[in-house]
Structure 1
């Protein structure tokens, strides 16, 4: 009996210590993901078909304007993704430390925040070739109390973005000049802190000079004359164990600099202050308002009838017509949702140029497709993607792909499985299969169509309130 009790005791002790060690090991990995980054390089990204990049939601990085995705970083990333032959997926974050964690955990591939390279950051990631240079400035209100000299920072309180390089720069000023002032870090992007200065919630912040200059075109009461740090190189961050990706990005940066592309893009976003001001202060910008298009009200009305998130329906409208009521496709499709004449007639649209009538005709067609697929694909998130593909290429072709999925042992309730066979409808082996009724189709285009809408919808969900 004693031996049995001793044995149980030993097992319990070993289990406890084992659990404790495992817990501590996991905790250590969670705290320092850059010490053991997920092995994921360019080949894996290409096989996966998309690259994931972390960006800010700001006037100099990424935002929505009239339903369209815009921004300096966004346009560069899109061009890079095209050069790599993959699609672009964006992750919107303002927390820099979290961005490095996601990068090393393999949940992102690039941090595209124009980061200044520092020793601390180089422990967490590698950096691409420089994409430009940026200095930093103090942002304050332009009034009688505006300070003009670093010595005037004595006893002041400066609020800055958490985990940015600004803290180290300010601490260097304290050490070099012997000045005492308080540094308070907080969550949020630079433009949030600038807005707080404008609204008199705080008196001072520090941001990149270029970003500060852009914001002076929106707010005439800003003073950005005091330099905190001179220009230094900025770059994107990538995992340390992704040398192929690093090489490919650096080659693209070199080519883009040589062709003048980066300089042209820089001028578009940072030197044309009039256009920037108009875009970023428009009610149809995610930076200033909460509207996607002039037709949001009727889109919301249609989405209620359909049972969709209105931002998803807005994504479809943007993809079809760019919110242009007079748009006509090469095939003769018209209106906000680009319906063909036969579909217009079938769903009761007499005037396709009337926004409400055109939209509700498209909504009625979507309801028809929803009914067609409801029993076969009960899960709404999967069914939505099948409906979108059906809207693009016709539900006959998608039904063929669904039958092929069933025949070859795939999951007929999964869009991913159906999409695989939809793309195979260019292959005679599959489009001539006895279960196929609609024949050949460029199914890959419909799959890309669905991806485009869902990617745009993801951005709308993050940047536009429901």
Structure 2
């Protein structure tokens, strides 16, 4: 069985060469408890990051740490660490803080928490081949494991106070994804994961089930400091989180890494494997060529093409858009395409068209919002995107942030809104679905590329994101 961790895992330690040099030098030159940390006020912030948990969780915390370092006007140095070892390393003053999601609901000896940045529901996960547990009492005789020192282990420690018979394996050197793999493979009965982690794994393992009862209060995730850490730095962290919560940057970051998870649906594994194995390798070089000429990532172009046509260069919809990138006649003329069913012409033109739209957006719109809005305009046109941005602004929200615009773009189907806007009716909801699906395809292709350095792509499926209506529409135009 393919491990999620294997599919996604970059060569983690090699990705942090300077951090490792720092870590080893600190370990070898000073006795424990007397580490000479750089002065964060002098321009260097040293943080611990989870070396074992792949994907959105670690990347989210890394981006958050970069924001905090920028807030302090400091350079960020990240040290990869097994989360179970983080408290000891903080106590030894090997880092200023641990940028790892700890469950801060209850006090933990040896740790002081920053303000919580995210609330996530923790879930009991089991294999659907077994009966669904109706409560904690049903797992007392089962094989249970969680990651040592994780938010899930802290959760079980709380539950054990009420269920003294509860026992579990505390695993080091593994990730939540590894344990979910084991549950899916039948070598582990039960593990615990938050909803986002479960949603990710569910797309690889349809046989994973989630218990319907609430196991405990949701986890309030937060960074951690040593009790004797610099109080001024902790105060700065408190001000930092208050500021990014107020100005929307925290919301934007959560949406960037987790917003599209809400669109996950069970994977039609057989159909998707066929597409990955037989179709994508055929067009991989074409997507790379389009990336070269457009300045876009090839994974973004491939994600758009898959959403539009399932990499079918002969695709034709009921609206008469055609080809790999589903170009309209007007767009094809604008991009000098004489045959929309030619895969190369369509892909190069579609990529250039998307790049052109992106370049025409106001310069104040930053990435990644700039790309998400360009994709929405690719689907519905610049005029309708501008209407959605005007409507967003009228509603007191930020027209330069996709997380706000996507809330109002679906309103373009309603007369009380579109009749007050210059470009009239638009299928704004369809554009939002397209963008959110492409975000996930793009994210997964990027991770697959970094996690498989030999072939660049795995022969195993990544995601199925289309809702049932969208999936049926694609099947319909395949069968026309």
> TM class by shorter-chain length?
0.3 to 0.5
Give me the TM-score of the superposition, normalised by structure 2. Answer: 0.45
Give me the TM-score of the superposition, normalised by structure 1. Answer: 0.47
